[in-house]
């Protein structure tokens, strides 16, 4: 029998790494825009980080563009704002680019903050995109929305912290925000893990657990520990901070890569009743 | 109002795949694309094991998740319940395929043929519009519409009936109007116990599975 | 130039054309093909036929492959000649295209030289042989080729390509003997309870089988499937009983035991047993009937007058049990008087009761690995459903109504144990009066008795109050010491009879086996000088495929009608591209009662017509046959054969005359025009004559066929004939006589088979026979612990369609088409996971496969669906799926008395790359 045809759930084959990149780069970019806006950065630092955030979002969208069957019709993605979170994501992305570019042009923190709001919407849309996919039990768990959203915050903050070290020791406020984002993400993971246990099949759960373990240990505990050490031993902070940021970013990316390309088993088929052939 | 629906009597299906073959031919789908197919399922453990043949495909849902997620509005639902895809609008993002809990949607990026190179019949049937976009069972909507225009009754008159139903050698598949209480499908649903696939997901499939006669009739 | 007929050019470019598909024995299916711009695009049921066809006019999945079959780029589309004189699997034939003229000239020259030297060779075997596969279905495609063969004279059609091992062989022979039942099936539309021992009606019963059983299921018919694996039919049954392979006789005997030893006699149909079977016939001490000394008629004991009377005494009440003394004579084989005077005898029913006494469910449970309680319950359910005493009115006739039946599958029916199963099945019907009555167990058609296909007309009085049966003679004067063909059916198998189909119903593997060494007493088995092959691939479809291929590589001149290259035509000298299903023309008889479940309430004719122009240079069969006849100087005989009905219909009738001028070569359309006219005249008793154009437009024409004619019982009863069951005095006698003849010729190699001729068949350790054979091959049951079986595939059976991509694709949706089915627990123990490469081996051979892990199979059983393992057929050669045919040897010890063998072999299994 052709294994692709079930009836036990099998892994979806429609979205590959290209789709995963959108969720990896897009959320990191959106998160970075938020972190920049919160940090109160100004001038060229603001410009550079805003540009990087938008570039990441753009790279994610470009990656998806390479995956769609009819790339020349890409603009049709905007035709269904009424029900499609993919359309809404594209609108949010448009807004991010418009406001972000304006912020860069004017080096305006206010515009950057407005762009950050749009980026938050963008990150939320990404969560909703996955959650609306009813065919994938591991995705349709409502808690996934907030997990995707908080990974965006954590990845963006991590990236911001890592980049900030290039210029100077990050402000304590930024580190606090980063810590909060990490905690929010791990909490969201914990809630999601509780929900997905009832929905997903065993191989999907196994893949998620492996990625989740990394998210908790390397992506949460380790960076928080590094931050703590850096707090008390400032002389090593310049080394530890970027490590913490990269760990948060990398584990978030690997989690989403797994979510899209390893844990996305479909619904399969199941019968609530067996047919009665002749007699019971 | 009309609500077209399919009924599959699981007591009757033998998994012969005649519906699969007829669908492939009537709709000229490329290799490995099966808008209608029949699953071969095993339930239980040896020796207490049952084997069931289950026709599947697009369920033409009341609340099609594929339509809600579609960013291009290529997927639509007609007032008669048939879920359609506009090949000219579709961007081929496959979001609908991911959203469908029935694995009913296909996307073929490149033209493919039974023996590599297109035969004369494949060349004639080839439709480039179907490349790199989502495709799925249409309930043979063209036959239904053309048949209705001629005053025929889908599900009764072969010319107006989906190819899979016409071909079914065990009378497993029936097609008709759920809103008409006298239709063949309404009668079947009235007389038998049925379920719909993954009903808990709230999609409202237009595809019903008969598994037994109604309890009151069980002793008859 | 394509075909000589210009008809192809005149085909309409658009529209639907009516035709038929007869690719499998469960056909024909009536269909239409849509044509768009001169291209065939879509097969559909012929909706105009749904009122007359017993399967609602539907069309099997195989027919949907016909469009792709037509346009398959792998087709052979020109005649080809072999350039490499060396033949063999590893030899490239070096086929080069040639013209039709060259191809036909070459064949005709060869045939003429054969004819000039004599039609028979030194051993007395025909020099020309021919093979057609698919249980007789090629006849619905080969047009007038049978007329050419008839004009030629003796032709050996007994080289097996699956006959005897892939059919239901015992059923064919014994079924036809006992109730004119070449195939047997339940009266599904009226039956309520079916015990199915491996019958696979859902996979091999065609559209009609599937249709009727689906209706029956919905109606509430209970079917219990007794089979080592959960087949398609098992899946669609109410209950699956996983029985150990080849132990079905024990299972059935246990049911009979329950009915005869644990149930009240009144639950049986005693009047039926007394009046319509040989149950009351008195049996003497030597096992033969006690006979009236003067008339030699068998005797029975009349309870009314307490005296022995002849079986045909009116108004007697025969005893079924007891022992009685009477004046009688007991006559054995070769007319030997074994005893006479005051002799003691018991009714054969009493003998039966004693015979099955040891066969209790507890006894059978050990053998079959089925709980005794299950067997007891099934026996009682069977009795409960039998409705003994009930009647039903059909078309104004009141007939017994017994809605219970037993059906048997291929491997149950073939080889050792087949006789016992068919006997037990027939007996189970007879005990409750359910043989050949509404609801019961029915025969479908006749192939050994004459007139062919006319069941009721074939019922003629024979000896001892039974039907006549055209046994091959076993008496000293008439026994055939010199076989007419290589498989020696006339010499070795009396039940095979001597009709047109008999050649294929002998031990067809002998034709291959004896090429190595002919056993003592038979003339040396020779190679045929010319071999015609059409729609068959014995290099794949028979056993010992390596050996068969090597043998056919030695055939000096092989002519293959070739659709694509394949494993058999790899050895051919000439390939001829014949027009395929949608390109050619033929009228065939439809309706009445035919194979499997084909019970119609109509009969008539259907036309297969060109839907599209033939591809390349493919030619329709009549054009090939006519040319061969002309070039071999046989035109007159050929035309005469067509006039006699070799095209399917006699061209001359009571009030019509459409015979062809025998001296002239006629074109295809001219021939079928005459056939069409004769057929329509026959259908209407001469009132209507429709030409080919009319048939092309209409596709089919029928007249009513009485439903009551599905049942043979009334015909026997009207002639005062009895079913020759349960006691097999005649078989016992001919077995003894055959033994005498063989031993007179010092032929001792058939002795084990001779033991199968029994009055009441005993249980033997049937699985043990295969285990013994394993030992002989050098293996032990410990090292080769699995039973390898096969099962038909709905998508492929008989279809000759392995090269069709769409069929492959849709068949893959059904488990087992990609590898060997293994029980989940067994696979776990052996460390085998789904899709793993595995090796299946006998002591002599091994094959590789992918594991298909399923719950629905016994832990000691493996299953390979269908017959694949192709190495030359384009597309199919890339499947990578093995066939059990590569593993099963041909052997004398596993050949039963009917010349049949079973698809069973003991094997080992391991994950590839793992040491023993």
Domains and CATH numbers, chain B: 4-11+22-180+190-212 (3.30.70.20)
Q: If you classify domain C765-911 with CATH, what class do you get?
A: mainly beta
Q: What is the pLDDT of residue C10?
A: 61
CATH topology of domain C188-371+400-444: Dimethylsulfoxide Reductase; domain 2 (3.40.228)
Beta strand C80-81 with C574-576 is antiparallel
Which chain A residues touch C834 with a CB distance below 8 Å?
3
Angle at C557 between CA C553 and CA C558, to 5 degrees: 75
Instruction: Average the pLDDT over C882-911 and give the result.
Output: 95
pLDDT tens track for C570-622: 999 999 999 999 999 999 999 999 888 999 999 999 999 999 999 999 999 99
Contact A240, A229 (CB under 8 A): yes
Report whether pLDDT(C465) > 60. Answer: yes
Chain A residue nearest residue B199, CA to CA: A272
Beta strand B173-177 with B4-9 is antiparallel
Closest of C511, C599, C630 to residue C207, by C-alpha: C599
Residue C129: C-alpha distances to residues C132, C135, C141 (Å): 10, 17, 19
Q: Tell me if residue B84 falls in helix, strand or coil.
A: strand
Q: What is the pLDDT of residue B9?
A: 98
Report whether pLDDT(C700) > 90. Answer: yes
- Give me the residues paired with residue B108 across strands: B131
Phi, psi values for residue C850, rounded to 5°: -100, 145
CA distance C373 to C379: 10
Q: How far is CA A70 from the centre of its chain?
A: 25
Contact C206, C24 (CB under 8 A): yes
| Helix axes A17-39 and A143-167, enclosed angle (nearest 10) | 60
Give the contacts of C306 (CB within 8 A, at least 6 positions apart).
none
The DSSP secondary structure of A3-63, one letter per residue, reads GGG-SS--B--S--HHHHHHHHHHHHHHHHHHHHHHHT--HHHHHHHHHHHHHHHHHHHHH
CA distance C188 to C441: 9
Angle at C447 between CA C136 and CA C646, to 5 degrees: 60
Q: How far is C240 from chain B (nearest CA, A)?
A: 9
Q: Which phi-psi region, left, alpha or beta, contains residue C869 (left: φ > 0; alpha: ψ -120 to 50)?
A: left
- Optimal mutation site among C68, C69, C582, interface B, most CBs of chain B within 10 A: C68
Instruction: Average the pLDDT over B72-87 and give the result.
Output: 98
Q: How far is B39 from chain A (nearest CA, A)?
A: 6
- Give me the residues paired with residue C559 across strands: C532, C574
| Helix axes A43-67 and A85-106, enclosed angle (nearest 10) | 150
Residues above pLDDT 90, as percent of chain C: 95
Per-window interface: B 123-182 vs A, CB < 8 A = 131-133
CA distance A279 to C799: 33
Q: What is the pLDDT of residue B218?
A: 46
Which runs of consecutive H residues, i.e. helices, occur in C2-144? 66-71, 100-117
Q: What DSSP element (H or E) covers A127?
A: helix A109-131
**Max CA-CA distance within chain C?**
85
Would the CB atoms of A277 and C220 count as touching at under 8 Å?
A: no
- The residue with greater pLDDT, A236 or C346, is C346
Outline where DSSP puts E strands in C489-553: 530-534
Beta strand B134-135 with C846-854 is unpaired
Asked whether the bond before C28 is cis by omega within 30 degrees of 0, the reply is yes
C820 close to A (CB below 8 A): no
Neighbour-count burial of C523, counting CB atoms closer than 10 A to its CB (0-12 exposed, 13-18 middle, 19+ buried): middle
Closest of C310, C285, C286, C283 to residue C298, by C-alpha: C310
pLDDT tens track for C717-773: 999 999 999 999 999 999 999 999 999 999 999 999 999 999 999 999 999 999 999
Q: What is the pLDDT of residue C5?
A: 47
Pairs across B and C, CB distance < 8 A: 163
Q: How far is CA C804 from the centre of its chain?
A: 25
A274 close to C (CB below 8 A): no
Q: Tell me if residue C910 falls in helix, strand or coil.
A: strand
Contact C404, C192 (CB under 8 A): yes
CA distance A65 to A59: 10
pLDDT tens track for C368-409: 999 999 999 999 999 999 999 999 999 999 999 999 999 999
Q: How far is CA A263 from the centre of its chain?
A: 15
Q: Domain coordinates of chain A in residue numbers?
A: 15-69+78-261
Considering chain C, tell me which residue range(s) the CATH 3.40.50.740 domain(s) occupy. Answer: 80-166+485-576
Q: If you classify domain A15-69+78-261 with CATH, what class do you get?
A: mainly alpha
Give the contacts of C28 (CB within 8 A, at least 6 positions apart).
C20, C21, C22, C140, C588, C590, C606
- The residue with greater pLDDT, C692 or C165, is C692
Q: What DSSP element (H or E) covers A228?
A: helix A222-232
- Give me the residues paired with residue B37 across strands: B56
Report whether pLDDT(C910) > 80. Answer: yes
Of A3, A5, A278, the CB nearest to C217: A278
Residues above pLDDT 90, as percent of chain B: 97
Q: How far is C805 from chain A (nearest CA, A)?
A: 14
Neighbour-count burial of C645, counting CB atoms closer than 10 A to its CB (0-12 exposed, 13-18 middle, 19+ buried): middle
pLDDT tens track for C808-862: 999 999 999 999 999 999 999 999 999 999 999 999 999 999 999 999 999 999 9
pLDDT tens track for B121-172: 999 999 999 999 999 999 999 999 999 999 999 999 999 999 999 999 999 9
Q: What is the pLDDT of residue A5?
A: 42
Q: What is the pLDDT of residue C914?
A: 59
Considering chain C, tell me which residue range(s) the CATH 2.40.40.20 domain(s) occupy. Answer: 765-911
Pairs across A and C, CB distance < 8 A: 31
Which chain A residues touch C223 with a CB distance below 8 Å?
277-278
Q: Tell me if residue C591 falls in helix, strand or coil.
A: strand
CA distance B177 to B160: 13
Instruction: Average the pLDDT over C454-464 and give the result.
Output: 95
Lookup: tokens for C113: 């030289």
Q: Tell me if residue B66 falls in helix, strand or coil.
A: helix
Residue C488: C-alpha distances to residues C178, C538, C554 (Å): 23, 19, 21
Lookup: tokens for B131: 């490349």
Q: Looking at residue C830, what DSSP letter applies?
A: T
Enumerate residue ranges in chain A where pLDDT < 50: 1-5
Q: What is the pLDDT of residue A166?
A: 76
Q: For chain B, how far is it from start to end, CA to CA, in angstroms?
A: 34
Closest of A137, A138, A140 to residue A128, by C-alpha: A140
Q: What is the pLDDT of residue C595?
A: 86
Q: How far is C231 from chain A (nearest CA, A)?
A: 14
Per-window interface: C 224-253 vs A, CB < 8 A = 236-238
Report whether pLDDT(C24) > 70. Answer: yes
CA distance C779 to B200: 56
- Chains touching chain A at 3 or more Cβ pairs under 8 angstroms? B, C
CA distance C53 to C66: 21
Chain B residue nearest residue A266, CA to CA: B101
Q: What DSSP element (H or E) covers A131?
A: helix A109-131
CA distance C622 to C145: 7
| Number of Cα atoms under 13 Å in the Cβ half of residue A117 | 7
- Optimal mutation site among B45, B49, B103, B124, interface C, most CBs of chain C within 10 A: B49
Residue C64: C-alpha distances to residues B148, C214, C424 (Å): 26, 21, 39
Q: What is the pLDDT of residue A2?
A: 43
B198 close to A (CB below 8 A): yes
Evaluate whether ipTM surpasses 0.85.
yes
Place of tokens 């005997």: C253
Q: What is the pLDDT of residue A4?
A: 41
CATH topology of domain C80-166+485-576: Rossmann fold (3.40.50)
Q: What is the pLDDT of residue C790?
A: 96
Which chain C residues touch B160 with a CB distance below 8 Å?
none
Q: What is the pLDDT of residue C2?
A: 36
């Amino acid at each position: 029998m052709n294994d692709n045809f079930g009836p036990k759930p099998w892994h979806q084959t429609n979205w590959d790494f290209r789709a995963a990149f959108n969720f990896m780069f897009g959320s990191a970019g959106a998160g970075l825009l938020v972190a920049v806006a919160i940090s109160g950065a100004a001038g060229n630092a603001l410009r550079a980080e805003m540009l990087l955030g938008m570039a990441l979002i753009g790279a994610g969208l470009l990656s998806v563009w390479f995956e769609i069957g009819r790339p020349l019709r890409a603009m049709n993605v905007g035709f269904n704002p009424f029900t499609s979170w993919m359309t809404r994501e594209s609108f949010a992305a448009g807004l991010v680019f418009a406001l972000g570019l304006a912020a860069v042009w004017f080096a305006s923190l206010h515009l950057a903050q407005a762009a950050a709001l749009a980026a938050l919407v963008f990150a939320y849309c990404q969560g909703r995109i996955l959650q609306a996919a009813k065919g994938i039990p591991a995705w349709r768990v409502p808690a996934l929305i907030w997990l995707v959203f908080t990974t965006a915050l954590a990845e963006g903050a991590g990236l911001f912290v890592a980049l900030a070290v290039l210029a100077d020791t990050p402000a304590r406020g930024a580190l606090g925000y980063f810590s909060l984002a990490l905690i929010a993400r791990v909490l969201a993971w914990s809630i999601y893990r509780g929900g997905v246990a009832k929905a997903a099949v065993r191989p999907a759960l196994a893949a998620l657990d492996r990625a989740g373990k990394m998210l908790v240990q390397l992506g949460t505990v380790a960076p928080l520990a590094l931050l703590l050490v850096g707090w008390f031993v400032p002389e090593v902070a310049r080394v530890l901070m970027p490590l913490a940021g990269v760990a948060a970013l990398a584990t978030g990316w690997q989690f989403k890569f797994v979510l899209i390309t390893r844990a996305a088993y479909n619904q399969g088929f199941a019968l609530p009743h067996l047919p009665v052939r002749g007699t019971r | 109002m009309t609500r077209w629906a399919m009924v599959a009597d699981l007591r009757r299906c033998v998994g012969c795949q005649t519906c699969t073959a007829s669908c492939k031919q009537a709709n000229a789908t490329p290799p490995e694309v099966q808008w209608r197919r029949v699953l071969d399922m095993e339930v239980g453990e040896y020796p207490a094991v049952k084997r069931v043949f289950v026709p599947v495909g697009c369920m033409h849902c009341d609340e099609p998740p594929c339509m809600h997620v579609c960013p291009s509005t290529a997927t639509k639902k007609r007032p008669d319940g048939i879920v359609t895809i506009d090949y000219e609008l579709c961007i081929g993002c496959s979001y609908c395929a991911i959203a469908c809990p029935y694995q009913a949607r296909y996307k073929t990026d490149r033209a493919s043929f039974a023996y590599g190179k297109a035969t004369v019949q494949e060349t004639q049937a080839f439709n480039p519009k179907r490349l790199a976009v989502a495709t799925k069972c249409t309930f043979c909507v063209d036959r239904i519409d053309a048949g209705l225009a001629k005053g025929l009754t889908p599900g009764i008159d072969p010319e107006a009936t989906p190819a899979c139903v016409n071909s079914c050698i065990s009378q497993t598949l029936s097609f008709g109007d759920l809103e008409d209480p006298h239709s063949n499908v309404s009668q079947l649903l009235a007389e038998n116990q049925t379920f719909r696939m993954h009903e808990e997901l709230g999609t409202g499939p237009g595809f019903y599975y008969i598994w037994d006669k109604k309890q009151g009739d069980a002793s008859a | 130039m394509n075909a000589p007929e210009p008809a192809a050019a005149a085909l309409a470019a658009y529209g639907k054309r009516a035709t038929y598909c007869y690719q499998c024995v469960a056909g024909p299916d009536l269909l239409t093909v849509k044509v768009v711009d001169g291209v065939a695009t879509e097969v559909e049921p012929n909706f105009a036929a749904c009122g007359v066809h017993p399967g609602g006019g539907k069309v099997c999945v195989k027919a949907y492959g016909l469009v792709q079959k037509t346009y398959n780029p792998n087709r052979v589309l020109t005649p080809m000649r072999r350039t490499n004189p060396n033949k063999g699997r590893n030899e490239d034939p070096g086929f080069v295209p040639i013209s039709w003229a060259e191809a036909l000239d070459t064949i005709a020259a060869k045939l003429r030289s054969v004819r000039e030297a004599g039609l028979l060779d030194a051993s007395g075997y025909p020099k020309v042989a021919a093979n057609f596969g698919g249980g007789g279905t090629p006849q619905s495609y080969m047009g007038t080729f049978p007329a050419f063969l008839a004009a030629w004279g003796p032709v050996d059609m007994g080289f097996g390509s699956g006959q005897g091992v892939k059919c239901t062989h015992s059923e064919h022979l014994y079924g036809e003997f006992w109730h004119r039942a070449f195939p047997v099936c339940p009266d599904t539309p009226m039956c309520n309870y079916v015990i199915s021992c491996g019958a696979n009606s859902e996979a091999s019963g065609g559209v009609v089988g599937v249709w009727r059983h689906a209706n029956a299921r919905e109606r509430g018919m209970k079917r219990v499937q007794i089979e080592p694996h959960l087949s398609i039919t098992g899946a669609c049954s109410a209950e699956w009983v996983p029985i150990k392979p080849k132990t079905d006789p024990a299972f059935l005997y246990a049911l009979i035991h329950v009915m005869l030893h644990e149930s009240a006699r009144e639950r049986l149909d005693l009047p039926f047993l007394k009046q319509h079977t040989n149950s009351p016939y008195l049996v003497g001490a030597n096992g033969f009937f006690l006979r009236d000394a003067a008339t030699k008629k068998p005797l029975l004991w009349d309870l009314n007058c307490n005296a022995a009377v002849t079986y045909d005494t009116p108004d007697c009440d025969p005893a079924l049990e007891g022992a009685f003394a009477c004046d009688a004579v007991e006559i054995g084989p070769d007319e030997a008087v074994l005893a006479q005077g005051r002799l003691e005898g018991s009714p054969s029913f009493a003998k039966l009761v004693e015979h099955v006494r040891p066969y209790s469910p507890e006894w059978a449970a050990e053998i079959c690995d089925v709980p005794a309680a299950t067997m007891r319950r099934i026996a009682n359910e069977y009795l409960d459903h039998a409705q003994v005493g009930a009647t039903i009115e059909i078309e104004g006739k009141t007939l017994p109504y017994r809605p219970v039946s037993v059906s048997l599958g291929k491997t149950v029916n073939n080889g050792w144990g087949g006789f016992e199963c068919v006997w037990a099945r027939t007996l189970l019907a007879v005990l409750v009066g359910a043989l050949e009555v509404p609801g019961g167990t029915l025969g479908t058609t006749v192939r050994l008795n004459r007139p062919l296909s006319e069941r009721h007309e074939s019922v003629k009085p024979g000896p001892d109050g039974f039907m006549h049966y055209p046994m091959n003679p076993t008496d000293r004067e008439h026994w055939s010491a010199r076989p007419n063909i290589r498989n020696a059916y006339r010499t070795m198998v009396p039940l095979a009879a001597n009709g047109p189909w008999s050649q294929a119903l002998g031990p067809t593997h002998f034709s291959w086996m004896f090429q190595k060494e002919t056993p003592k007493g038979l003339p040396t088995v020779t190679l045929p000088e010319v071999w015609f092959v059409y729609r068959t691939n014995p290099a794949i479809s028979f056993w010992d495929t390596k050996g068969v291929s090597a043998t056919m590589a030695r055939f000096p001149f092989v002519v293959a009608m070739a659709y694509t290259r394949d494993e058999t035509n790899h050895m051919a000298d000439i390939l001829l591209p014949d027009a395929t299903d949608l390109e050619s023309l033929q009228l065939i008889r439809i309706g009445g009662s035919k194979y499997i479940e084909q019970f119609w309430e109509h009969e008539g004719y259907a036309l297969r017509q060109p839907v599209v122009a033939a591809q390349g240079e493919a030619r329709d069969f009549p054009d090939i046959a006519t040319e061969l006849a002309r070039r071999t100087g046989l035109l007159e005989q050929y035309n005469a054969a067509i006039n006699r009905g070799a095209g399917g219909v006699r061209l001359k009738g009571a009030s019509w005359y459409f015979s062809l001028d025998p001296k002239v070569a006629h074109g295809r359309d001219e021939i079928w025009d005459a056939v069409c006219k004769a057929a329509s005249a026959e259908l209407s008793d001469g009132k209507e004559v429709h030409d080919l154009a009319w048939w092309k437009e209409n596709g089919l024409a029928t007249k009513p066929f009485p439903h009551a004619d599905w049942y043979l019982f009334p015909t026997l009863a009207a002639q005062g004939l009895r079913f020759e069951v349960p006691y097999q005095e005649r078989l016992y006698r001919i077995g003894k006589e055959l033994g005498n003849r063989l031993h007179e010729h010092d032929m001792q190699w058939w002795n084990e088979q001779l033991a199968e001729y029994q009055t009441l068949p005993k249980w033997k350790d049937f699985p043990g026979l295969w285990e013994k054979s394993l030992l002989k091959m050098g293996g032990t049951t410990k090292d080769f612990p699995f039973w390898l079986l096969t099962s038909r595939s709905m998508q492929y059976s008989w279809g000759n369609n392995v090269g069709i991509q769409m069929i492959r694709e849709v068949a893959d949706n059904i488990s087992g088409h990609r590898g060997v089915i293994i029980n989940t627990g067994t696979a776990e123990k052996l460390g085998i996971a789904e899709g793993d490469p595995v090796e299946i081996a006998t002591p002599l051979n091994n094959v590789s496969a992918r594991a298909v892990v399923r719950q629905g199979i016994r832990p000691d059983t493996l299953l390979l669906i269908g017959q694949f393992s192709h190495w030359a057929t384009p597309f199919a050669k890339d499947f990578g799926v093995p066939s059990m045919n590569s593993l099963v040897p041909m052997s004398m010890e596993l050949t039963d008395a009917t010349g049949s063998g079973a698809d069973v072999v003991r094997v080992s299994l391991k994950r590839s790359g793992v040491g023993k």
